[in-house]
Chains A and B, each alone.
Chain A
Amino acid sequence: METVPEPGSNVPPKKDRLQTKKKKPRRYWEQETTGTAAGASPGPPRKRKRNRELRPQKPKKNDTSKKFRMSKKPRELKSPRPQRSLSGAQDPFAGPAPVSVEVVQKYCRIDKSKELPHPKTKTRSRLVVAEAQEEETSVRAARSELLLTEEPGFLEGEDGEDTAKIRQADIVEAVDIASAAKHFDLNLRQFGPYRLNYSRTGRHLAFGGRRGHVAALDWVTKKLTCEINVMEAVRDIRFLHSEALLAVAQNRWLHIYDNQGIELHCVRRCDRVTRLEFLPFHFLLATASETGFLTYLDVSVGKIVAALNARAGRLSVMTQNPYNAVIHLGHSNGTVSLWSPAMKEPLVKILCHRGGVRAVAVDSTGMHMATSGLDHQLKVFDLRGTFQPLSARTLPQGAGHLAFSQRGLLAAGMGDVVNIWAGQGKASPPSLEQPYLTHRLSGHVHGLQFCPYEDVLGVGHSGGITSMLVPGAAEPNFDGLESNPYRSRKQRQEWEVKALLEKVPAELICLDPRALAEVDVISLEQAKKERAERLGYDPDARTPFQPKPKQKGRSSTASLVKRKRKVMDQEHRDKIRQSLEQQLQKQEKAKPTGARPSALDRFVR
Chain B
Amino acid sequence: MNANQAAESLLASNQQKELEDLPKDYPLSTSEDEGDKDEERKHQKLLESISSLNGKDRQKLADRSEASLKVSEFSVSSEGSGEKLVLSDLLEPVKTSSSLAAVKKQLNRVKSKKTVELPLHREEIERAGTPLEQEIFNLLHKNKQPVTDPLLTPVEKASLKAMSLEEVKMRRAELQRARALQSYYEARARREKRIKSKKYHRILKKGKAKQALKDFEKLQKVNPAAALEELEKLDKARMMERMSLKHQNSGKWAKSKAIMAKYDLEARQAMQEQLARNKELTQKVAASESEEEGEGQEEEEEPLVPDLVNEVQIKANGLNPWMFRNHFIDAKEAEVQKDLEDPAEPEAQETSESEEEKAVVEEETLLKEFEERRSLRQKSELNHMAEPVHRRVTKDPSSQEVLSDLRALCQKLSTENHQSGKQELSSARTAQREEPAREEEEPMLLQRPERARTLDELEELGREGCVENEELPRTAVEGLQLEKNLSNHIGAPKEKKRKEQMIDLQNLLTTKSPSVKSLAVPTTVQELEDEEERDQRQIIKEAFAGDDVIRDFLKEKREAVEASKPKDLDLTLPGWGEWGGIGLKPSAKKRRRFLIKAPEGPPRKDKNLPNVIINEKRNTHAAAHQVQVLPHPFTHHQQFERTIQTPGSTWNTQRAFQKLTMPKVVTKPGHIIKPIKAEDVGYRSSSRSDLSVIQRNPKRLSIRHKKHLENNCVD
Interface residues of A (CB under 8 A from B): 1-3, 27-29, 32, 43-45, 47, 109-110, 114, 116-117, 119-120, 122-123, 126-127, 130-131, 133-134, 136-137, 140-141, 144, 162, 164-165, 333-335, 340, 342-343, 345-355, 374-379, 385-389, 391-397, 414-417, 419, 432-433, 435, 438-440, 502, 505, 507-510, 515-524, 527
Contact = CB atoms under 8 A, between A and B. Distances in A.
17 contacts: A3-B659, A27-B668, A29-B668, A32-B672, A116-B636, A120-B635, A126-B639, A140-B655, A345-B615, A346-B615, A397-B524, A435-B518, A439-B520, A519-B640, A519-B641, A524-B629, A524-B630
A163 to B, nearest CB: 11
Given A376-B537, A388-B609, A520-B623, 16 more contacts: A3-B655, A44-B679, A374-B544, A393-B515, A395-B515, A396-B515, A396-B518, A396-B521, A417-B518, A435-B518, A438-B518, A505-B625, A507-B619, A510-B619, A516-B622, A520-B626
B118 to A, nearest CB: 70
A480 B638 CA distance: 36
A119 B635 contact: yes
Given A350-B612, A394-B513, A333 B522 contact: no
Nearest to B669: A29
A148 to B, nearest CB: 12
Contact of B642 (A116, A395, A438, A502): A116
B619 A343 contact: yes
Contacts of A354: 509-510, 544, 549-550
B545 to A, nearest CB: 10
Given A140-B655, A342-B619, A374-B540, A415 B522 contact: yes
Interface string B613-625: 1110111011111
B633 A126 contact: yes
Contacts of A521: 637
Nearest to B634: A123
B518 A517 contact: no
A527 B659 CA distance: 35
**What 3 A-B pairs have minimum CB-CB distances, sorted nearest first?**
A415-B522, A507-B621, A392-B513
Contact of A137 (B641, B653, B715): B653
A528 B157 CA distance: 113
A353 B234 CA distance: 85
Given A1-B658, A29-B668, A120-B635, A517 B644 contact: yes
B623 A522 contact: yes
B522 A417 contact: yes
Contacts of A333: 547, 549, 552-553
Contact of B639 (A117, A350, A374, A505): A117
Nearest to B657: A137
A348 B622 contact: no
B660 interface: yes
B516 interface: yes
B647 interface: yes
B103 to A, nearest CB: 66
Contact of A127 (B533, B623, B642): B642
B653 A141 contact: yes
Nearest to B671: A29
Interface in B589-620: 605, 609, 611-615, 617-619
B645 interface: yes
Task: Kindly name the residue among A137, A510, A521, A522 whose own CB sees the greatest number of chain B CB atoms within 10 A.
Answer: A137
Given A44-B683, A393-B514, A515-B622, A141 B652 contact: yes
Nearest to A61: B659
A96 to B, nearest CB: 12
A440 B653 contact: no
Nearest to B623: A520
B505 interface: yes
Chain A interface mostly: mixed
Contact of B645 (A3, A134, A342, A351): A134
Contacts of B625: 505, 507-508, 516
B335 interface: no
A99 to B, nearest CB: 13
Nearest to A438: B520
Given A1-B662, A123-B634, A507-B619, A523 B628 contact: yes
Contacts of A116: 636, 638-639, 642
Contacts of A351: 505, 509, 549-550, 553, 611-612
A136 B656 contact: yes
Nearest to A333: B549
B688 to A, nearest CB: 15
A349 B645 contact: no
Contacts of A355: 540, 543-544, 549
Task: Kindly name the residue among B524, B550, B667, B715 whose own CB sees the greatest number of chain A CB atoms within 10 A.
Answer: B524
A414 B618 CA distance: 40
A110 B516 contact: no
B666 interface: yes
Contacts of B134: none
A283 B278 CA distance: 93
Contacts of A393: 513-516
Contact of B633 (A122, A379, A396): A122
A116 B640 CA distance: 10
B620 to A, nearest CB: 8
A508 B658 CA distance: 26
B520 to A, nearest CB: 4
Given A110-B645, A393-B516, A438-B520, A123 B653 contact: no
Contact of A114 (B524, B528, B605, B638): B638
A45 B715 contact: yes
Given A1-B662, A507-B622, A516-B625, A123 B633 contact: yes
Nearest to A509: B622
B569 interface: no
B97 interface: no
Given A394-B515, A396-B525, A417-B520, A130 B642 contact: yes
B286 interface: no
Contact of A519 (B619, B626, B656, B658): B626
B680 interface: yes
Contacts of A516: 622, 625-626
A261 B213 CA distance: 122
Contacts of B553: 333-335, 349, 351
Contacts of B476: none
B130 interface: no
B673 interface: yes
Contacts of A165: 519
Contact of B652 (A137, A392, A394, A517): A137
B122 to A, nearest CB: 71
A392 B611 CA distance: 15
A587 B537 CA distance: 52
B538 to A, nearest CB: 12
A202 B671 CA distance: 51
Contacts of A419: 516, 518, 520
Interface string B363-380: 000000000000000000
Contacts of A374: 540, 544
Interface in B188-222: none
Nearest to B605: A385
A137 B547 contact: no
A39 B637 CA distance: 53
Contacts of B524: 397, 415
Contacts of B96: none
Nearest to A396: B525
A516 B647 CA distance: 11
B467 to A, nearest CB: 34
B459 interface: no
A397 B645 CA distance: 46
Contacts of A120: 633, 635
B609 A386 contact: yes
Given A393-B515, A517-B644, A524-B628, A416 B652 contact: no
B28 to A, nearest CB: 105
Nearest to A519: B637
